[in-house]
Structure 1
Amino acid sequence: MDAMRKQLDVLMGANRNGDVREVNRKYYDRDVCRLYLAGLCPHELFQLTKMDMGPCPKVHSLQLRKEYEEAKAKGVDNYDRELEDAIDRLIVECDRKIGRALKRLEDDDAKAAIAISVSEVTQTPEVLELSKQIKEKLKEADQYDYEGKTDLKIRALEVVEELRTKRADKQSMLLLDAFNKDRASLPQPLPNPPPLAPLPIPAPDARTQEMINEKLKKAEDLGEQGMVDEAQKALEEAEALKKLPARQEPTLDSSKYTAADVRITDQKLRVCDICGAFLSVYDSDRRLADHFGGKLHLGYMQIRDKLAELQALV
């Protein structure tokens, strides 16, 4: 129910039922969200994700935002500094997580900590133009919402999703190309004389493969949560299981397959310098597109853009 309510709030406004009373309310009242008035409330960024802050306890109103913007233009009030402080705290925490992840990778293998700058690789003129179009459409949606034109607002938001998907696909191809070059630059093993009769690597039995899939899924979930050590351990366990002969009965305690059996750096992990998520140079374009289109990445990208915008006004 909460998820449906949030989606309806986005499409039709929080006052769709007429239960958010704005009569006699002023933009400077204590129960009005100043961050929303200034352009961005963090509570709206990560809805329905593990970073979900829950609903904002204060009122969000386009009408009051319009009144605030008029007052700001006259030099009466300015909440930009409050918004800058709020989102700067989020970015500082995210950057700390990125720093910890890079340090951990560096401890395992210095080469693995040489992260490709996702923000630089994916900021081509075409991507920047798509980002510009997205911002313009979001402004249109707000204007339609303010005017009560729900159908036009919904259409504008649909266009935003189409543009975001297009941008995510483009970014994934750019990063995939960078990863391909990254792999080519990695040290290659010395060639060995081929054996007279190469032995095929036996495929894991059904139970072992099931355990491998569980470990890989667990590693992905932990990586997105920034739990570096746990993600590395799960990947190590998955790789160790892959090396078990098919005829060998897998042990129930798969946790014993650790760094002694396989090196985590075989995964060639990189860290997204925008949201802190783990990416692998072996990720597919679809996996990378899902990353760029995910709410966490989009949310951190939005607050970083907003912070740069506010700092440029100083």
Structure 2
Amino acid sequence: MEEMRSLLDSLMGKDRNETDARKKHSFKDDNVCKYYLIDFCPHDLFHNTKSDIGRCKNIHSEVLKEQLANHEDYKYYRAKYEQKFMRTLENIIDLADHKIERTKEKLRYMSENSKNHVDKKEKIESISNHIEDLQKREEEAREKGDLVKADSFSSQVTTLQAEIKRLNEEPEKVAEPNLMVCEVCGAMKSPGDPITKLENHASGKQHIGFETIRSALTKLKDTVKEREQIIEKYRKEKYAHDEKSSRTERSHRDREHRRRSSSHRRSSKRHRSHDRNSRTHQSNRSKRSRKHSSSYRSRSSSWSRSRERHKERSSIEACLELQISWKGLNKDDSIKGAAEALKKKDAGKNVFETLHNLFLEEKESNKRKHEDLSEHIDKMKAYFDEKINSLKDNTHENLEELKYYLDQLNRNNKDKATDNNTFLDELEIVKNDVNKLKKEKEENINLIKTSMRTYFDKIKGMLSVMNANIESVREELATYKENNQIDNKKKNIEILQLINEENEALNKKMEESLNSLSSDICEATEQIINFKEHMENQVKDIKNETDMNKREMDEKTNELTTNQKKLLNDFYPSEMG
């Protein structure tokens, strides 16, 4: 059922059962998988495997794939999505390569342990042979009645048996012979495996998934320059098209402005002619009234007319100053000439008409500026909307990549935690073993010291007994000489010979005991030297393991920092367009 549902989703879309109003999707939507549109989705490759990265939450649709293929800007969108696709594939391959390196280091460490295992076997064999030799010598000593020597041999045997037991109880990680890592997917395999097993590995889901990702990544890396050229060409063409459309809109607005200004000028001319007729009528009335006025009234009227002329002149000059300031002219150079020209040419015109015209022109220019500004603002809005949408797409994609990468980081951290815990457990075991060895060493040294003391005490006792026997024999001889005069020299010679034989036997026994003591001391020194060498080798191994783990931790921290920087660079792109 799940396979049928996924097949229907890929062919008809996940919204195949919804209404037509809600079914209208575009390949540009955020909830559409861009990887599936151009080639394949990596989430579908590792389902139910050790490298599973979860299900894809976006839409996989063949209809949207056809929509992208039929779009007029297909090359641009394909190049854009391929850039993102290449980044995600690089992240997946980086994690896989890191896993491969870690497994290789583990195999190296396990192979070194296997060499140590061979050395340990040889050491156990040599110790067991030495134990057999000591047991034989112990039996011989017991048969001869030399209990001290037999006890020393038995104590040596017990210490060596404890050493064999300790070596057998040491934890080991031994690698299988000829074990190697697959360079594609990171799984472990052996060249000695049967052909069917190797074929099953090569046809497995995980191996095929990493193989397809690696081949797709090599193809994408080969076409990076072509994609960059396509994206740059599209941006230039779009910019040129926007400029052309803005120029056409500007020319259309200018034509509209000229048309409005011409109609406004015609209407202002009509108003001016009407005002001129009204002014002539008023002037005729004032002339008729002035004929009937008195001299005082004529003087006052002349004074008022001069005052009006002065006002008119000053208002004209003010209007000219305002016009010059609006048009950006030099006031000192042009105000006098313009005033004289106005006085000569248009002395009878109304000042408010010129002001009205100036205000209208300024209003039209401000309107044009406002339209240009609004057009520019609309362009900027469209540009920034496009940039915001692209940034949204990039942020959505980067967030997905971040989530995927964080999941992988959490998994790696869990693996690291387990590895560190196992390493700490092994360290504690080694420390306990070292402490046990130290205690056993001290006990063995104390046993050897006590046995040597007892042996020397026994030798001293034997020597004192021998001296006492010699003195007693001498005393007997002296008494015999005093009491009985021996005439036969032969008897004296025989007695002396017996005494010499006894002395020689005692000397031989002393030499044998001293030789056995020296051999025991040499064996004890050899055991102590071997024990020291063994301890030094173990300390070196522990130091090497700690150094290797420190290097691993440093490499992992460096890799984490580089990946975080890469993610931050992807999340905050430096270009704005």
For Structure 1 versus Structure 2, the TM-score category normalised by the shorter chain is 0.3 to 0.5
Using the size of structure 1 for normalisation, the TM-score is 0.46
Higher relative contact order (Cα pairs below 8 Å, separated by 6+ residues): 1
Using the size of structure 2 for normalisation, the TM-score is 0.26
Say which one has the larger Rg: 2
